[in-house]
Structure formats: C-alpha cells, structure tokens
Amino acid sequence: MVEIAVFSETLIDSHFLVDVRTPLEFEEDHIPGAVNVPLLENDERVEIGILHKQQGPHKARLRGLEMTAARFPAMVKTIGEMAGNRPIMVYCWRGGLRSKTVTSILDLSGFHTIQLQGGYKAYRTHVSSFFEQFRPSGPMVVLHGLTGSGKTTFLHTINTNRYTVIDLEGLARHRGSAFGALGLSQNLSQKHFDSSLWNELRKSPPGRPVILEGESRRIGRISLPGNFYEVMGESIKIWCETSMNTRISRLITEYGKEEYREEMAVALLRIRKKLGGEKYDEIAGYLEKWDLTLFMQGLLENYYDKVYYKTREWKEDRKLSLENYEEAQRELDNFLRNRLT
C-alpha cells in the first residue's frame, strides 16, 4: 500500500523530493529542491496521451509499461544514491499513476518513500493561496531610488544574518527597465518565479525584516504575484540618493560592455517615441560613437528620470545616500534598529 502525504512546507526540508514528470514539465516549474527523474520523456508522454484519448486507459497503461519497465532498476539506483539516508517524497502532475508507480517500486526496493497527494498541482495551489492574501513574516523594507543609484548592488552588501534580502530582479532575471534585459535571458515561467519568491519568503525567520528593491507590478514579462505589490506599498520606504555623476559611472560599469552594444541599440529604438525623434537621434549618436558618459546622461535626463518616480504619492520614511555603501549600511542599520524597537 503506497503511503500518501498531504503537502506541507516541512516536507521540503525533511524529504528528498523526486519529480517524475517530463523534463518540460519540470523546467516550467517544480517544488524547490526537487530533482527530475522522469518516468516518461517529453515525446513519450505525448504518445501516451494520444493513445489514452483514442484507445482508452488500458491500452495507454500497457504501452507505458512497455516504455518504462526496463528503466526501473536504473531509476531506483539513481534516486537511492541521491537521497542518501533521507526519506523520499515522489510527485507527478496531480498525484496520479506516474508518481504512484515510482513510489511503489522504491518502497518495494526498501526505501522509505511517500507519494505527494495531489502532486505538483497541490503544491501550486498552496503557493497561489500564499500570495493571494500575502503578509510578510516580518517588517518589509523597500529601497526606492532613481535609475543608476546602485540599489541592487547595495542590496547585496546588506547583512543577511540580520535581514532577509530578496533580489526580485535576480529572481525574475530582468532588471526591470527598458534596458533591463541586457546580458540576461528571462527564460523562466511565471510559475517558476512565484516558486522562487515563495521559497525565499518561507525561509525567512519570523520577525526578521525583509529588505528588497522597489519594483513595478511587472519585471520584464514577469508579474509580482497576488497582493505582493500592494504589500510593498505599505512597507517602510527608503529613498536612495546619489549624484548624477555617480549614477552615470555605475550605469557605465553595469551596462557599458561591448557585447551589449547591439542590444543597447535595440532597446534604445524601443523608447524612440517617448524620447522624440530629435532627442533619440542625439542619444543614438552617442551610442554610435561609444561615448557612454553622454549616452547614459542622455538616457537619465530624457527618459529614466521622466518616466520612473516622476510623481510619488508617498513620502519616504528615510532618505539614504548610496555614495558609500558601507556608510549607507551603517545608517540603514541604525534607522531600522530605532524604528523597529
């Protein structure tokens, strides 16, 4: 008799998770920490699906057995070696035949194995519900500021022993602006982003401040899930400031790479209408001459500073200079210590 378990977050930490869905299903999203040991390959699942529809479940199961039976010993060996002494939890799309089959074989082979009731679908329901009425486990602190001020770099200098630091742009694989895709490939699904964010939040100890960077509702083509954006709006707000020269210098350091040159031209073309033809030609000329100082200055003055934070309906709780990251961290520490005690 296969042992079945209802999804809970503790299972992620206590069990070795095995996702027996196809590689394509796994790539779209999976439970954090799971490894993919597919019972069926992508094309085989398609074949079984067609057979099930045309000739019924019995024929489909027999064909599935023909495809997979010879793989069972290797699957058991692979899973056993990776699991070590940890108990095993197996799941498929919705807790059906694929996970039941592998769970049974592992159990018969002497491994303590359970099947996830409802499979990935049950996990996904849990994540979706988590974000529908999201409330952080500790105070949320959001860093705002104009493009080039160094918010993301500063974020990664913050003491993670004292704070939970979440890089939303890193999780989304996009910097969240017109030039945000340079050097990056946002080849992840919305579900995968949700899972990554959920996993970061669930690991944050209760009461610990969560610090992240202010974002729009969308980061590239990825959306902030549930009411997460609204909760950010209710957070402690830090306005990060730096001089124009510092902003230009930091943008050149981040984006001023020869291999980005063609992508930069494409990104600039996308905002031509907002710049206006004459200003676009001027800034494109700086790019053509690879005069990055004037190029970045032109973008900041004529696009970024006019589009982002043009109007703010809120007042910051604290202004913070990011000219020096170490000094900024000390100042932020002092402010939060006084604010939260």
Beta-sheet strands, E only, within the chain: 4-5, 16-19, 35-36, 88-91, 113-116, 140-145, 164-166, 210-213, 218-219, 222-223, 236-241, 318-321
Which tens digits make up the pLDDT trace of 168-191?
999 999 887 778 778 778 889 999
Q: Residue 215 has which token pair?
A: 């974002």
To 10 degrees, the CA torsion angle through 87, 93, 95, 99? -50
Q: Specify the pLDDT at position 185.
A: 80
Residue 42 above 90 pLDDT? yes
Q: Specify the pLDDT at position 309.
A: 77
Instruction: Determine the Cα–Cα distance for residues 27 and 187; give it in Å rounded to an integer.
Output: 10
DSSP code of residue 1 = -
- Among the ranges given (109-118, 225-234, 298-307), the one the predictor scored with the smallest mean pLDDT: 298-307
Which tens digits make up the pLDDT trace of 25-35?
999 999 999 99
Dmax (CA) for the chain in angstroms is 74
CATH number of 136-340: 3.40.50
Which helix (H) or strand (E) is 213 found in, with range? strand 210-213
Instruction: Determine the Cα–Cα distance for residues 327 and 318; give it in Å rounded to an integer.
Output: 15
Residue 50 above 90 pLDDT? yes
Which tens digits make up the pLDDT trace of 204-241?
999 999 999 999 999 999 999 999 999 999 999 999 99
Residue 217: what are its φ and ψ, rounded to 5°? -60, -30
Superfamily of domain 4-129: Rhodanese-like domain (3.40.250.10)
Residue ranges per domain, the chain?
4-129, 136-340
